[in-house]
Amino acid sequence: MLNTELKNYLVGRVLPNVTTPAQYLGGERNSVRKDHRDCIGTLCMAFPDTYSLGMSHHGLQVLYSLMNARGWACERAFTPMPDFEAALREHGKPLYGLETFTPLNQYDVIGFSLQYEICYTNVLTMLDLGGIPLHAVDRGANDTLVIAGGPGAQNPELLAPYIDLFVIGDGEPSLPIVCEMWKEMQGDPTLTREDKLARIASSVDWAYVPRFYEMQYHEDETIAGIIPLRPDIPVSIKACVIDDFEGSPLPLFPIVPFVETAHDRIAIEIMRGCPWQCRFCQSTVIKRPLRYRTVDTIISAALASYRNTGYDEISLLSLSTSDYPHFEELVTKMSDVFTPLGVKISLPSLRITETLKKIPALMQEGRRGGLTLAPEVARDDMREQIRKPIDNKDLYEGAAEAFKRGWRKVKLYFLCGLPGEREADLDGIIEMAETIAKIGKDVTGRYADVVASVSNFVPKPHTPYQWNGMQTREYFHWAHRYLRSRVKLRSVTIKCHDIETSLLEGILTRGDRRVAVALEEAWRRGARLDAWTEHFQPKIWWGAFADLGIDTTFYSQRERPIDEILPWDHILVKKGREYLAKEQNRSIIQLESMAAAV
């Protein structure tokens, strides 16, 4: 059921005047266009970032495939670039789903995937352009249901005024339930919107409807309580978990974009969860328990995806790919099958263990990309503090083996601003990067190219560091200058994440509903695509916070006592708050030990 009137208008009068118009046309290989009249219901998967990033997100492909297979018309929408947004507004045309050019407010359900808090203004842009009332309380009984999930849903309070319902946990089992319950209730004229939302919220324990909860505050502005307003809804929200991960279908016909995207390759999720318990990492907490697919299932899915797309690269995804229990068997068989086809196997998220030095041999021949590793820190006592026990010997031996077999570049990910960080920890980053560069010279006769990518640490909800404060702007500026001043080798490059972006992330990640007004105000003042350096305007944000009287340090840089109620405490995680508090207390003891040793 193609909206030919809207499509023809855009193709004839709007798209010729915007950059990369193909990203707004749909019709890509393996995309699915259905007549809505023949479907159970209509769902638009809304990714609050550009097409280039959204089409690189594996989760979108998974849910798109899943819902279309269940008889729904599942379509896609992405945040338009500023020129196309301006053109849509100028011509009075709505944002639409790519498959049928249906305006967003005509779908039964629209689902946002919240991957990065800095993208929250994009949610408002898409709702507004799609003709959906911005505030959840302004939507009527039959208006589009607006739901959201993903890592950002772990602290749902920033977007609470705009989202009808948050899905906590795995989307594969939960999304169909929410969509089908909503569709079933649409035919009942006696039900109000609140009735419908309450029926969903009271039927499952992983659906959070913000309008049914009230935040109460102490005089010092800390939270006094998170109170349910109805007796039929849960006090706390649990995570929905796939029990049969092996049986959960992979997308065998992934969409092939017309334009270049951030990751032009097949992605296969081999494992969900992580066996490690790094204190800084939110993903390892919210994705528990550990589940994995069999080698045969992975290879079969990879082959089918290759035949259905023609991609020449396959990425094996997980939080810690080399911890997959049959890793050597998997990589060997993948290499045996795909190397003769000229297909490259990509292994992101490699853990630094003894296995690392085996990887180059397992990969056989083929095109050599860079080796990407995340030591996070370089000193042993800091590793103990963050609970990431790795050995530099394994790292250096793995790099040497890679250089012997044709790799020439190494990218290392580090964190800056961790609790207890010292100059020695920053020195260690440079020492490690330069040591690897020198290993390259020993093996090949020339220094290896090493990029040390340094992120500014943001304490995340549902981690042992959730009570810690974030470092200041002044500290990060000093640390970045210090790191760059210590580099001696030309082949070593230090890349530091933008400080203003990190400071904003700290507020949006750790804030509560009182910060939502600043989010909306910044958006109304023109904040758009804030994750993109060329579009981010920090002055808009700091101006909005100042004008609204919001103390940003209260949210991002304040140390919080263990007994303080946090904005996300009603969202439960596996092992629970007590485990996180125990780990925080152990961290404090280790920090005191580190300080005493100096």
The pLDDT of residue 368: 56
What is the rounded distance in angstroms from the CA atom of residue 118 to the CA atom of residue 161?
Answer: 17
Asked if residue 573 lies in contact with residue 543, where contact means CB atoms within 8 angstroms, the answer is no
d(CA 93, CA 517): 27
Return the H-helix or E-strand segment holding 214. strand 213-217
Q: Residues with Cβ < 8 Å from 41, sequence gap 6 or more?
A: 72, 73, 108, 109, 179, 180, 182, 183
Look up residue 262 and give its amino acid.
A
Q: Please provide the DSSP assignment of 497-509 as one string.
A: --HHHHHHHHHHH
Tokens in use for 496?
């530091």
Neighbours of 571 (CB within 10 A): 25
Angstrom distance (rounded) from CA 121 to CA 138: 19
Structure tokens at 307: 């035949």
Q: What burial letters (b/e) apply to 389-411, b meaning 16+ CB within 10 Å?
A: ebebebbbebbbbbbeeebebbb
Peptide bond into 325 cis (omega under 30): no
Type of residue at 447: Y
State the DSSP string of 245-279: TTTSPP-SS--B-SS--S--SEEEE-EES-S---T
C-alpha separations of 198 from 226, 234, 237 in Å: 17, 10, 14
As a whole number of angstroms, the distance between CA 339 and CA 361 comes to 13
Rounded to whole angstroms, how far apart are CA atoms 421 and 412?
18
Q: CA 47 to CA 67: how far, in whole Å?
A: 16
Q: How far apart are CA 436 and CA 33, in angstroms?
A: 50
Output the six-digit token pair for 174.
């939960």
Q: Exposure of 509 by Cβ count < 10 A (0-12 exposed, 13-18 middle, 19+ buried)?
A: buried
Q: How far is CA 336 from CA 268, 343, 357, 359, in A?
A: 17, 11, 19, 14
- Tell me, what's the pLDDT at 361? 64
* Domains assigned to the chain: 4-228 (3.40.50.280), 266-497+568-595 (3.80.30.20)
3-state secondary structure of 121: helix
Residue 37, pLDDT score: 95
Return the structure tokens found at 404: 């012997």
> Amino acid letter at 152?
G
Pairing between strand 344-346 and 313-317? parallel
Q: Which residues of the chain have pLDDT under 50?
A: 365-367
Model confidence pLDDT, tens digit, residues 514-569: 999 999 999 999 999 999 999 999 999 999 999 999 999 999 999 999 999 999 99
What pLDDT does 590 receive? 86
> What is the spatial distance between Cα 357 and Cα 467, in angstroms, rounded to a whole number?
37
Strands 213-217 and 271-272, by their bridges, are: unpaired
pTM comes to 0.95
**What's the pLDDT score for residue 367?**
43
